[in-house]
Chain A
Amino acid sequence: MNYDFETLMDEAYDLPDGLAKLEVLEAAARYADAEGNIEQGYEARSEIVQTAIFHGYPLKALIAFSWQLGQYDRNPESFASFNLMWSYKWIVGQISHFPEIPLHKIEELVEDLGKRYKEHGYDDRTYLYYRFRTAMDLGHMEKAQDYMEQFQKADRDHMSDCEACEQNQIVQLYSLLGEHEKALEAAKPILSGDMSCAEVPHITLAYLLLPMLHQQSEQEARKAHVRGYRLIKGKRDFIETIGRHIAFLSSTDLKKGIDLFEHHLAMAYDHEDPFHKMVFHLYSAQLLQKLAASGSKYRPRLPVSFIGTEEDTSLERLADHFAQLALSSAQQYDTRNGNSYYMEWAEEALRP
């Protein structure tokens, strides 16, 4: 394959977003690096960041972005800053998903983002909004509520996330806090279709399943499940969201739940985001537990990569396996975050 940079990039642009495209882009970046061409290396990495972040490869995105930011700081006048600053949000939005990164560095990153936005003349809204999101991801819920109020008071500008995304995060917070009524209220403009984007209502619907189940009816919740699942099935980026659908099915339709589990396990298996994997693992464990408790002797179909490592594939054994995975991630997060949020969440979900 004696492709040069342009050929590789052309090939990548012709591909739909996903792993295949990323591999071609990475080859292009390697080519540019080997040639010592920084401009081309930067171009390829811009594409990598964009493709990777939305297809379940946050680590690839982070690596490419770090390289870009370094180049930018050395030669700010050589590169257009808007896209770079925009992708910084994606990076900061997912950085807390890696438990190896200490709390103080996450803080420093959000601060760095805020500082850079200020230097570029943007309003505080986006910074405060990412403070809010990060606090929520870290299980610092009171702080999150605080920042939520603050960011909503600040002005929108070109750096702000779209209204649908912001509103979706508010719904998420209420849903996570178990404030079902508030979650449903906040979701109104999203459910009516007034606010939508590439990820909304896809993600939102999953966070509304339990509120609907409790506040409205199983029928309403089921409709939201069907609608939401159809939007995300087959998309690697939504593995966490699929986990939440499994949680809903584990209290309404075990059979359908197992279908989802089998269908998406391979996708979760080589996913790069440990946080998304934890959610998928936890709710899969919950589902398998319930199925086992119902007396079923079903043997789920598992991907080859998985069968290789696990001899015993009974429901009990699998439930235990995924519970252990989820619990150990939860423990890692709690240790890093300095609280007990995720352990409590996981233990609650696994309580028979």
Chain B
Amino acid sequence: MSEQQEYRFQVNLSGMINILSNHLYSSPKVFLRELLQNATDAITARSSMDPVYKGKVSVEIAGIGEHVTMTVEDTGIGLTEEDIHQFLAMIGHSSKVGKDFLANETSFIGRFGIGLLSCFMVSDEIVVLTQSAKGGPSMEWRGKPDGTYTIRKLDTQLAIGTKVYLRCKADSVDYFEPAAVEELLFYYGALLPYPVTLVAGGQQKSINASQPVWFAEPELARGKRREVLEFGSRLLAEPFEDFIPLRTANGRTGGIAYILPHSVNLNARRSHKVYLKQMLVSDKAENILPEWAFFVKCLIWTDELQPTASREHFYEDDRLQSVRDELGEAIRDELVRMGSLEPERLQRIIALHALPMKALAAEDAAFLNTIYKWLTFESTYGERTLGELMNEKQKIYYTATVDEYRQITHVAAAQSLLVLNGGYIYNNQLLDGIAYLNPELELERLMPEDVSLSFTDLTMEEKNSYYDMTRLADVTLQRFRCHIQLKRFKPSELPALYTLSKESSALRSLEKAKESSTDLLSSVLGNLGASFGESAYSTLYFNLNNPLISRLFAASSKEMLPAAVEMLYTNALMMGHYPMSRQELAVLNQGIVRFIDWGLSANAGNGGTSI
């Protein structure tokens, strides 16, 4: 045999089906989606040849128990013998392949061959009867999961279209239950633009009788509130109370964003339903909206995005990116619109979804400016919205961190300053932004040293008399890069106030890492630490109004002062939850021992009476 023979790879079809059902598709139920997609493609193709033609799909379930069969019939373009060979006989070969497809872009959703194979997940035999609109004899194709199939020309002439017969597999009875099929057909085909009917048990039911016009024209949804909410609740299974219409500028993507009626975690999976050509392709599309938009669940239609092989997501490409940006803008614009026209509505949304609103506002100045009055903050005047706090007609201060707030809140309250806790997630960024956007607002970042502005300075006379002691205390804490200040302030119960700038906070963690790193990196950190200047000093304010401090700084306790100052310093660190360096821990330990020693000798001196 000198002639060259052509061989084909043998593909184990049952293995393929296993792969399909276990890896490509999330559940066998998608066979109905695939069949509806094939029907949709066939109807689309026939419509393009004959504009007056109106397609329809009917699904019939017959028989009971293990003898159930399902027929899915469409009046679409049908298949010629050649088509059958091309689409059904070769896996992976579908109407999408080839130059024609590229020209048509996404006018066809499915891949006929693969789609049909998914039926083997629920049926051990597939029979396709078809008559092409292009003429020729009617054809029958019978396929088995072992990969064998037969094709035969029929003697009778069928009506134009395609019928697919499935025979229920023993373990797939559930997928042939009329109620379940009805549910799935609605789920996948509720929006199909041609009638889909289900015949079972002698009854005929329309699956998609009412076609919501507002879905294709989302702007109309505003006038049909109740209908829109009910429809969304049925398809998305959540009791919605509010929604936002979506539409991109080119009109090729749109839909409804339903506001979730409960708070969600920031990293919650964002599952939206997306219809391609009015056919559901994905009910877990995550990447079609920006990340911050996780407080909505959407019904979206599009004809411009490319589904992935499983058709459950979309390819991450430039077009998806711009669709995502635009849909995000539509949501944002609507929220901005609410801010000026329906503030109560916006307020309800903010109350439910504070965190995502803050995340969005932190990135988007215009949005921030719309919503800031309704953001709630912890303050020295209680937990209030910024709008309410602004009505106090007081200058508003905010801290950068929770620690700062905690350090100065009681001091600030004692001076009746209005201070917001800017430390919680996003608050600081938002407050910086609000102050930037609204220079007329009296909103200012409170530096720890600002609180001290309202502290009373010592008189010249006092300064003179405390000069030596102040200096001694300052020298004591010099090695910890901490300044001391002697002031008078309320409340007098408070002996000392420790304040730490951002820089000194960074320096503290740098020093800490330096202690425990490798030699090389420690010296690198040393180089970096050396460039921190004066600003990296922390400050320890001593309150002369406090009786203890006033006694301590009296000239007679010169001997005790350094140790006491060190103890107050380490105490302040512990109160502020700052991890201590080795040096600081050593000081604390020595201090405790020394004070016990002093206490004992003082007791011994006055005859051993205890307090």
Residue positions of A touching B, CB distance < 8 A: 1, 13-16, 19-20, 23-24, 26-27, 29-31, 33-34, 59-60, 62-67, 69-71, 73, 95, 98, 100-102, 105, 108-109, 112, 227, 230-231, 234, 266, 303-305
B159 at interface by CB-CB < 8 Å: no
A313 to B406, CA, bound (A): 37
Given contacts A14-B266, A63-B525, contact A109 B506 (CB under 8 A): no
Q: Are B524 and A109 in contact (CB under 8 A)?
A: yes
Q: Which residue of A lies closest to B531 (CB)?
A: A100
A305 to B432, CA, bound (A): 9
Cβ of A305: which chain B residues have Cβ within 8 Å of it?
432
Given contacts A31-B577, A63-B513, A266-B436, contact A13 B267 (CB under 8 A): yes
Among B103-111, B337-345, B346-354, B515-523, the stretch that binds chain A is B515-523
Q: Which residue of B lies closest to A41 (CB)?
A: B579
The residues in B between 479 and 531 inclusive whose CB is less than 8 angstroms from any CB of A are 506, 509-510, 512-514, 516-518, 520-525, 527-528, 530-531
10 A-B pairs with the lowest CB-CB distances in the bound complex, closest first = A33-B579, A70-B517, A66-B517, A67-B513, A66-B521, A70-B516, A20-B425, A66-B513, A63-B513, A100-B527
Q: For the complex, would chain B's binding face be called helix, strand, loop or mixed by DSSP majority?
A: helix
A139 to B525, CA, bound (A): 23
> Considering residues A30, A34, A95, A227, which has the most beta carbons from chain B within 10 angstroms of its beta carbon?
A30
Q: Are B524 and A20 in contact (CB under 8 A)?
A: no
Q: Are A108 and B520 in contact (CB under 8 A)?
A: yes
Q: Are B530 and A34 in contact (CB under 8 A)?
A: no
Point out the residue from A13, A31, A71, A100 that lies within 8 Å of B516, measured CB to CB: A71
Cβ of B520: which chain A residues have Cβ within 8 Å of it?
105, 108-109, 112
Q: Are A304 and B439 in contact (CB under 8 A)?
A: yes
Point out the residue from A14, A31, A304 that lies within 8 Å of B432, measured CB to CB: A304
Q: Are B266 and A16 in contact (CB under 8 A)?
A: yes
Cβ of A26: which chain B residues have Cβ within 8 Å of it?
509
Q: Are B518 and A69 in contact (CB under 8 A)?
A: yes
Cβ of B530: which chain A residues have Cβ within 8 Å of it?
100
The residues in B between 521 and 565 inclusive whose CB is less than 8 angstroms from any CB of A are 521-525, 527-528, 530-531
Cβ of A70: which chain B residues have Cβ within 8 Å of it?
513, 516-518, 521-522
The 25 listed contacts between A and B (C-beta, < 8 Å) are A16-B359, A24-B425, A27-B402, A30-B577, A33-B579, A34-B577, A34-B579, A59-B506, A62-B521, A63-B509, A66-B514, A66-B521, A70-B516, A71-B516, A98-B528, A102-B527, A105-B524, A109-B524, A112-B520, A230-B321, A231-B321, A303-B436, A304-B432, A304-B436, A305-B432
B101 at interface by CB-CB < 8 Å: no
Cβ of B509: which chain A residues have Cβ within 8 Å of it?
26, 29, 60, 63
Q: Which residue of A lies closest to B356 (CB)?
A: A16
Q: Shortest Cβ distance from A98 into chain B, in angstroms? A: 6
Q: Are B524 and A101 in contact (CB under 8 A)?
A: yes
Q: Shortest Cβ distance from A27 into chain B, in angstroms? A: 8
Point out the residue from A16, A19, A30, A101 that lies within 8 Å of B578, measured CB to CB: A30
Point out the residue from A31, A63, A105, A227 that lies within 8 Å of B523, measured CB to CB: A105
A62 to B528, CA, bound (A): 10
A17 to B72, CA, bound (A): 49
Given contacts A30-B577, A69-B518, contact A62 B525 (CB under 8 A): yes
Q: Shortest Cβ distance from A47 into chain B, in angstroms? A: 14
Q: Are A15 and B266 in contact (CB under 8 A)?
A: yes
Cβ of B531: which chain A residues have Cβ within 8 Å of it?
100
B306 at interface by CB-CB < 8 Å: no
Q: Shortest Cβ distance from B140 into chain A, in angstroms? A: 44
Q: Which residue of B lies closest to A71 (CB)?
A: B516
Q: Which residue of B lies closest to A70 (CB)?
A: B517
Q: Are B318 and A227 in contact (CB under 8 A)?
A: yes
> Considering residues B266, B321, B435, which has the most beta carbons from chain A within 10 angstroms of its beta carbon?
B266
B265 at interface by CB-CB < 8 Å: yes
Given contacts A59-B506, A227-B318, contact A19 B429 (CB under 8 A): yes
Q: Shortest Cβ distance from B517 into chain A, in angstroms? A: 4
Cβ of B528: which chain A residues have Cβ within 8 Å of it?
59, 62, 98, 100-101
Given contacts A14-B265, A16-B266, A16-B291, contact A66 B577 (CB under 8 A): no
Q: Shortest Cβ distance from B391 into chain A, in angstroms? A: 23
> Considering residues A1, A62, A63, which has the most beta carbons from chain B within 10 angstroms of its beta carbon?
A63
Point out the residue from B325, B518, B577 that lies within 8 Å of A73, measured CB to CB: B518
Q: Which residue of B lies closest to A69 (CB)?
A: B518
B401 at interface by CB-CB < 8 Å: yes
Cβ of B426: which chain A residues have Cβ within 8 Å of it?
20
A27 to B577, CA, bound (A): 9
A68 to B436, CA, bound (A): 38
A67 to B521, CA, bound (A): 9
A69 to B517, CA, bound (A): 6
Q: Which residue of A lies closest to B514 (CB)?
A: A66
A199 to B73, CA, bound (A): 49
Cβ of A95: which chain B residues have Cβ within 8 Å of it?
524
A24 to B266, CA, bound (A): 15
Cβ of A100: which chain B residues have Cβ within 8 Å of it?
527-528, 530-531
Cβ of B318: which chain A residues have Cβ within 8 Å of it?
227
B388 at interface by CB-CB < 8 Å: no
The residues in B between 412 and 464 inclusive whose CB is less than 8 angstroms from any CB of A are 423, 425-426, 429, 432, 435-436, 439
A67 to B515, CA, bound (A): 8
B146 at interface by CB-CB < 8 Å: no
Q: Which residue of B lies closest to A305 (CB)?
A: B432
Cβ of B516: which chain A residues have Cβ within 8 Å of it?
67, 70-71
Cβ of B521: which chain A residues have Cβ within 8 Å of it?
62, 65-66, 69-70, 109
Q: Which residue of A lies closest to B505 (CB)?
A: A26
A30 to B578, CA, bound (A): 7
Q: Are A66 and B522 in contact (CB under 8 A)?
A: yes
Cβ of B292: which chain A residues have Cβ within 8 Å of it?
16
Q: Shortest Cβ distance from B533 into chain A, in angstroms? A: 12
Cβ of B439: which chain A residues have Cβ within 8 Å of it?
304
Q: Shortest Cβ distance from A125 into chain B, in angstroms? A: 23
A112 to B524, CA, bound (A): 13
A313 to B291, CA, bound (A): 37
B363 at interface by CB-CB < 8 Å: yes
A105 to B436, CA, bound (A): 41
Q: Shortest Cβ distance from A179 into chain B, in angstroms? A: 28
Q: Which residue of A lies closest to B522 (CB)?
A: A66
Cβ of B291: which chain A residues have Cβ within 8 Å of it?
16
Known: A16-B359, A100-B531, A304-B436. 5 other contacts (CB 8 A): A62-B521, A73-B518, A102-B527, A109-B520, A266-B432
B257-273 vs A, Cβ < 8 Å mask (1 yes, 0 no): 00000000111000000
Q: Which residue of B lies closest to A106 (CB)?
A: B524
A95 to B527, CA, bound (A): 12
Cβ of B524: which chain A residues have Cβ within 8 Å of it?
62, 66, 95, 101, 105, 109
Q: Which residue of A lies closest to B266 (CB)?
A: A14
Q: Which residue of B lies closest to A234 (CB)?
A: B363
Cβ of B512: which chain A residues have Cβ within 8 Å of it?
33, 67
Q: Are B325 and A230 in contact (CB under 8 A)?
A: yes
A59 to B531, CA, bound (A): 13
